[in-house]
Chains A and B, each alone.
Chain A
Amino acid sequence: MAMNYNAKDEVDGGPQCPPGGTAKNRRPDNTAFKQQRLPAWQPILTAGTVLPTFFIIGLIFIPIGIGIFVTSNNIREIEGNVFMYYGLSNFYQNHRRYVKSRDDSQLNGDSSALLNPSKECEPYRRNEDKPIAPCGAIANSMFNDTLELFLVGNESYPTPIPLKKKGIAWWTDKNVKFRNPSGGESLKERFKGTTKPVNWVKPVYMLDSEPDNNGFINEDFIVWMRTAALPTFRKLYRLIERKSDLHPTLPAGRYYLNITYNYPVHSFDGRKRMILSTISWMGGKNPFLGIAYIAIGSISFLLGVVLLVINHKYRNSSNTADITI
């Protein structure tokens, strides 16, 4: 993009004044912009600004870190709503080919995409000449174990704990991003002409009995479709709502977890977990952030002290050596 004016415009080239002298004045404009005199603020890194920065960061970070740490560690007592998660490890939901193997148009209820899914879904695009709904590897590998929780009381019959299966997906996903295809009366009719994913037992329109939790807007499905960022992840499975303020949500006692085992993880050395947790203002239990804040706050403070000492020592020596210009 070099500008090299090769073209020599012969006689009238160049900034020659015509002999008449009435040439237009070529004096550049006297604007602050053109003369590079725009008013400006010129901050300088000096001991006066740097050292306090370190101390202030230290002083602010340590309390924040302690606060976070304490909050995080307090998530123990089972009070308030309790959330039930399933966890998978060594499961690469973030693999490139896995992540892209979906058709958002289809999931959004687009009728043409329903019958003709995107190529990205290969090899779970068609099965026996019928389009798969929902297509793709993500949907195909949906977690399909069933978890049930029972309180083993004094009686011989364990009481099942009511698990709420709605309200576990993002509102935007449930209401905007995922939609059942339009058309026919029953959900089955709307999915006419499609077939179920290979690994699935039931077709998509039979995921749940309730109509607002069935088909593409089944929340278990939506949660699964929001792929995890890391190979070890947990996903919200059920909510255990607190019934009243008087009783703890899950009173102390013996519990019994019934797992209907459908989902194979042994082949790839995966692990399954079930997690019950409460929530604080900043989410679930994760001490990392608190520790990080405390650590960095302390380091910053320490560095501040070190810099102060160094500055004191060197500044004097460099000031005495006078600058000869």
Chain B
Amino acid sequence: LQANSRELNSTFGYPNNTIKTSRYSVFNFLPLNLFEQFQRLANAYFLILLFLQLIPQISPLAWYTTVIPLMVVLSITAVKDAIDDVKRHQNDNHVNNRSVLVVMNGRIKEDKWMNIQVGDIIKLKNNQPVTADVLLLSSSEPYGLTYIETAELDGETNLKVKQSISVTSNLEDNLGLLSSFDGKVRCESPNNKLDKFTGILTFKGKNYTLDHDKLLLRGCIIRNTDWCYGLVIYTGPDTKLMQNCGKSTFKRTHMDHLLNVLVLWIFLFLGGMCFILAIGHGIWENKKGYYFQDFLPWEEFVSSSVVSAILTFWSYFIILNTMVPISLYVSVEIIRLGNSFYINWDRKMYYAPKNTPAQARTTTLNEELGQVKYVFSDKTGTLTQNIMIFNKCSINGIIYGYGYDKNGQRVEVSEVKKVDFSYNKLADPKFSFYDNTLVEAMKKGDHWVHLFFLSLSLCHTVMSEEKVEGKLVYQAQSPDEGALVTAARNFGFVFRSRTSETIMVVEMGETKVYQLLAILDFSAVRKRMSVIVRTPEDRVMLFCKGADTILCQLLHPSCRSLRDVTMEHLDDFAFEGLRTLMVAYREVDNAFYQAWSKKHSEACLSLENREDKISDVYREMEKDLMLLGATAIEDKLQDGVPETITTLNKAKIKIWVLTGDKQETAVNIAYACNIFEEEMDGIFIVEGKNDETVRQELRLARKKMKPESLLESDPVNTYLNTKPQMPFRIPEEVPNGNYGLIINGYSLAYALEGNLELELLRTVCMCKGVICCRMTPLQKAQVVELMKRYKEVVTLAIGDGANDVSMIKAAHIGIGITGQEGMQAMLNSDYAISQFCYLQRLLLVHGRWSYNRMCKFLSYFFYKNFAFTLMHFWYAFFSGFSAQTVYDTWFITFYNLVYTSLPVLSLSLFDQDVNETWSLRFPELYDPGQHNLYFNKKEFVKCLVRGIYSSFVLFFIPMRTIHNSVHSDGKEISDYQSFSLLVQTALLCVVTVQIALDTTYWTLISHIFTWGSLGFYFCILFLLYSDGLCLMFPNVFQFLGVARNTLNLPQMWLIIILSVVLCILPVIGYRFLKPLFWPADVDKIMNRIHLWTRHPLLPPTQTKLRHTRPRRSSYAFSHKQGFGALITSGKTMKDKVFKKNSFSFKK
């Protein structure tokens, strides 16, 4: 493509910049949507049924019995799809109509996003989102640097830097040059790799290679850069953002799979019944029908009873189709949708500080929330707030940060007043500190304290932004650093701004500029970073901070005693679970520095072993350090995390922490939030570096937890020895105590390999808490996948960052924390909550209710349809197997759709067996969901048996009663139409009483829906059987007057009462006896709850959590490499850039 030449570029047929996430337009909505809906098996099935019904020879039902429900079902879905799509259209329009500045013929023109084309040059301003994938040409910052935030793409909120190639950065904002820029770009075809781009820019006959550092991706936001120009490379659907989305995998719940299996069973059952009835019909036609031809001749095409039987098979197939109710899937969706709304509406999951309610982004997984067995949690930002707070420090052997009361006793910090920072105008008001002695030392001008904070304010890679005078905003690479710099700022050493050569610090109100000579950046190996500065007093100083283990060895021998004191303090800090760093300095001889600097630049320029050489040079500088002190940063846990985890543990939910963080930190947090407890029987650490050791470690752990599991005779072993075919499941194994396990990513890589997989799984699943540290995002997903593959359990992944996305997508349920680290996790999640502690409410309250409701719904729904449909089976024996329906066709049409739909909805939207307080108080109530006790194949068979029984009662009681029976005025009542009415009314009463029995939570709405539906049935009955309607369409409404003649029969009501009692009594008896004979834990708890609700003598008391922490060391340094390199690169590039500049001047 060529810049600034729309004509040429249009020949390549690039798409324009319109994005389209909507699926339909006004015109294609109907056909497309219908087509999509009929791709669903159930809908297609009903469509086939409909066609079958159109064949008059086999159709026992009028066409409308299927068409009306099908229409309703389809239109509900269509309306929902339409609403979704309208939303998407609005979003699209909003995005497409945003305006952007385009360079056109030497002038800047405003245009809409959707009109941007490949090859255009656009101007982007600070804080603007990037319009398309753009090749950076030039920017307001030196060297063509541009800062962007990529929160939308990868979830990272920190700034990234992009740099244009030098030849184009010279274009600057010269519109003339820009519009005459005619570089040609050849690049790879659009793909979804965010961090890869290759291309060649040909400009003035020269080729320049392009990589992803030059590319601004759509979705990024320009930050800290006043303006920049870019050449549009990919537009609209070609952009990396759009290429990356839309491929979300569709999650299905266990219940969905179960439903599919059951529907298949029903089909088989249905086929079997049809077959039996068809044979019956054949025999009947042969023995009776043949001779009955005087009155009812066979149809012309029926040559023998066999042909007739084949036709009857299909007739019964149509009649009995209500076994698989058309409204099942729609009802399931509606119920899930309703229960999702409850999640969105829950005020107790609304996080006021961020103004975010919980959000059910997927509405198809609700009941699975009530079945979770394993929770995989990220650490940073999920368990912790990812907010680091400068909590304590030790300076020159004196510890600061503890609160003391008047008698000098240490007290809880919350009881002490915050330190007043009003003396410092630039202080961050959010910062709080509780020890006044430090401020006093500060004010007194304590040399060490000053030096300590000076080093904190200099030795970092934070960028500052000062939009309003005096209001500094720090952009830190890691929150630790931000916390340290903020602390220094509040105590009076304000880091104000930096260029690539200087750092401006306001020292106790006095502005000083330090010359930045070098940054010896952090790396995972070095575990420390240093800066070398030239002070205004012309002294060269090195400031270093780093992990104590490393720094200790670099200290000058003279500060040994101080080191010992400080180490003691560090132990104290670690004891409290704080993250610690050591701070040291060194004054460098000017000459020494000059020599070193030379070596350094040589090392930088060397081509071989550059890394090694540089680190050698660094090591030369970082020695003989003078210890200043140590800092302690609190990695704040989110509110209520330990309590939540304790509750979830009680609900037998196992919580694993999968984190990229290092082992010490992770373990520390695990203790802090009760994943590991002191009373545990043992904690295993797996850190082997090869196959064999990992295996040994795993087996050792298993041996301790359950020695017999290693024996050949163990059932699981014998099972595995049979080499079962995939997919097979590993049963749950019970260990002999509470254990914890720690495994690091390195060992996990081995453990996840083929033959160790099962070993790992069996060992790990026996542990109560598991910590996996140093995990890559891929490994997180692998662990989840492993679990899904071999265990029949529901897994839940919760995380907040881009690195959790893979695991969130892999797990059955993915939960995103809308927190610190951007939106990526949230966008890929099924549920978004803003605090970890809401998880217990989401699972124990909403999940449990959803699950219970869904199970009740399914049991009842299948039951009512079996009872309804099987009646035809019994009637077949008395109607010559002729596929005559028992009911009026209108009853068949309305049964699922009108008469029984609302009670079912009220049951499945309002029912609560126990209220939220109890479900949280007794997490054990969650247990049945995990084992899927309330609706499984066994329960389904029970429904079937119940349905068969009910239909039997409902058919034979009326049949025997009206047989040869007459009305009190002598007219016969055993006619077909009266019988239909009788049976259908009895059926409806029975199923209504049945649902009344199932309902445990009778709200006003439940009453209205349940009893109202029954009343409504009678209203409709009189309408359908009224003179007016029947006279208008005599052939459609044939039941004229039946209601009036039959409903006043005493037999009618006696039959109904009898049928109801006969159908309900066994159910009541069973439900009463079940907890007596087979008591489950849940029943006992329920008993207790019922006892308490009736006699509220024992108010539920929340057990207080113990806060005992053992002595654990955690010398953490949560730092990533990044900004340091950027600043330094700016610096080391200085020479080159100058050369280029001079070069261009010459031109």
Contact = CB atoms under 8 A, between A and B. Distances in A.
Contacts of A15: 355-357, 359, 818, 832
Contact of B60 (A34, A96, A239): A96
A105 B1034 contact: yes
Given A11-B221, A28-B357, A230-B878, A93 B1050 contact: no
A225 to B, nearest CB: 10
B112 interface: no
A112 interface: no
Nearest to B57: A97
In this complex, the interface size class of chain B, counting residues with CB under 8 Å from chain A, is: 35 or more
B1068 A96 contact: no
B964 interface: yes
Nearest to A28: B345
Contacts of B12: none
Interface string B892-918: 000000000000000000101000100
A104 interface: yes
Contact of B1040 (A68, A103, A177, A281): A177
In this complex, the interface size class of chain A, counting residues with CB under 8 Å from chain B, is: 35 or more
Given A27-B357, A29-B345, A284 B966 contact: yes
B1041 A280 contact: no
A96 B1003 CA distance: 44
A236 B971 contact: yes
Contacts of B1031: 108, 176
A311 B1076 contact: yes
Interface in B963-979: 963-979
B968 A280 contact: yes
Interface string B320-349: 000000000110010001000010111110
B288 A269 contact: yes
Pick the most buried of A14, A16, A39, A91: most chain B CB atoms within 10 A of its CB.
Answer: A14
B1112 to A, nearest CB: 31
Interface in B942-978: 957, 959-978
B296 A98 contact: yes
Contacts of A288: 960-961, 963
Contact of B1004 (A38, A223, A318): A38
Contacts of A2: 250, 333, 362-364
Contacts of B22: 7
A175 to B, nearest CB: 9
A236 B1061 contact: no
Given A28-B346, A236-B966, A96 B1041 contact: no
Given A44-B1090, A279-B966, A97 B961 contact: no
Interface string A278-289: 011111111011
B729 interface: no
Contacts of B916: 36
A63 to B, nearest CB: 13
A147 interface: no
A94 B295 contact: no
B967 A283 contact: yes
Contacts of A300: 1061, 1065
Contact of A233 (B922, B972, B1001): B972
Contacts of A307: 1069, 1072-1073
A10 to B, nearest CB: 5
A246 interface: no
A252 interface: no
B963 A6 contact: no
A310 B88 contact: no
A207 interface: no
Nearest to B1036: A104
A261 interface: no
A95 B1127 CA distance: 92
A284 B963 CA distance: 10
Contact of A14 (B291, B357, B818): B818
A295 to B, nearest CB: 10
A108 B961 CA distance: 31
A104 B1035 contact: yes
A63 B823 CA distance: 72
Contacts of A233: 964, 972, 974
B1049 interface: yes
A163 to B, nearest CB: 13
A206 interface: no
Interface in B1000-1028: 1000-1006, 1027
A85 B342 CA distance: 63
B647 interface: no
B963 A104 contact: no
B91 A14 contact: no
A292 B957 contact: yes
Given A6-B245, A12-B94, A104 B910 contact: no
Contact of B294 (A90, A99, A268): A268
B382 interface: no
Nearest to A50: B1072
A152 interface: no
Interface stretch (B401-409, B479-487, B1077-1085, B1115-1123): B1077-1085
Contacts of B250: 2, 4
B1035 A268 contact: no
A247 B355 CA distance: 92
Contacts of A123: 297, 299-300
A296 B1060 CA distance: 12
B248 A229 contact: no
Given A1-B80, A229-B974, A7 B347 contact: no
A137 interface: yes
Contacts of B832: 15
Nearest to B1084: A323
Contacts of B966: 83, 85, 234, 236, 277, 279, 283-284
B350 A176 contact: no
A161 interface: no
A229 B827 contact: no
B1051 interface: yes
A277 B970 CA distance: 9
Nearest to B1062: A296
A267 interface: yes
A104 B1034 contact: yes
B336 to A, nearest CB: 9
B959 to A, nearest CB: 7
Contacts of A133: none
A216 interface: no
Given A120-B1035, A227-B977, A318-B1084, 10 more contacts: A14-B818, A38-B1003, A47-B1072, A91-B295, A95-B882, A176-B1031, A228-B975, A236-B972, A300-B1061, A310-B1073
Which 6 A-B residue pairs are closest in the complex by CB-CB distance? A172-B1041, A7-B21, A229-B979, A104-B1034, A34-B345, A141-B295
Interface of B: 21-22, 56, 60, 77, 80-81, 84, 88, 91-92, 94-95, 129, 152, 218-219, 221, 241, 245-246, 248, 250, 288-289, 291-292, 294-297, 299-300, 315, 329-330, 333, 337, 342, 344-348, 350, 352, 354-357, 359, 361-364, 818, 823, 826-827, 832, 849, 878-880, 882-884, 910, 912, 916, 922, 924, 957, 959-980, 1000-1006, 1027, 1030-1031, 1034-1035, 1038, 1040-1041, 1044-1045, 1049-1051, 1054-1055, 1058, 1061-1062, 1065, 1068-1069, 1071-1073, 1076-1077, 1079, 1084-1085, 1087-1088, 1090, 1093
23 contacts: A36-B342, A53-B1068, A95-B292, A97-B296, A99-B976, A122-B299, A168-B971, A171-B1041, A172-B1027, A172-B1040, A172-B1045, A229-B974, A234-B964, A235-B972, A236-B971, A268-B288, A268-B291, A292-B957, A307-B1073, A318-B1076, A323-B1084, A323-B1088, A325-B1088
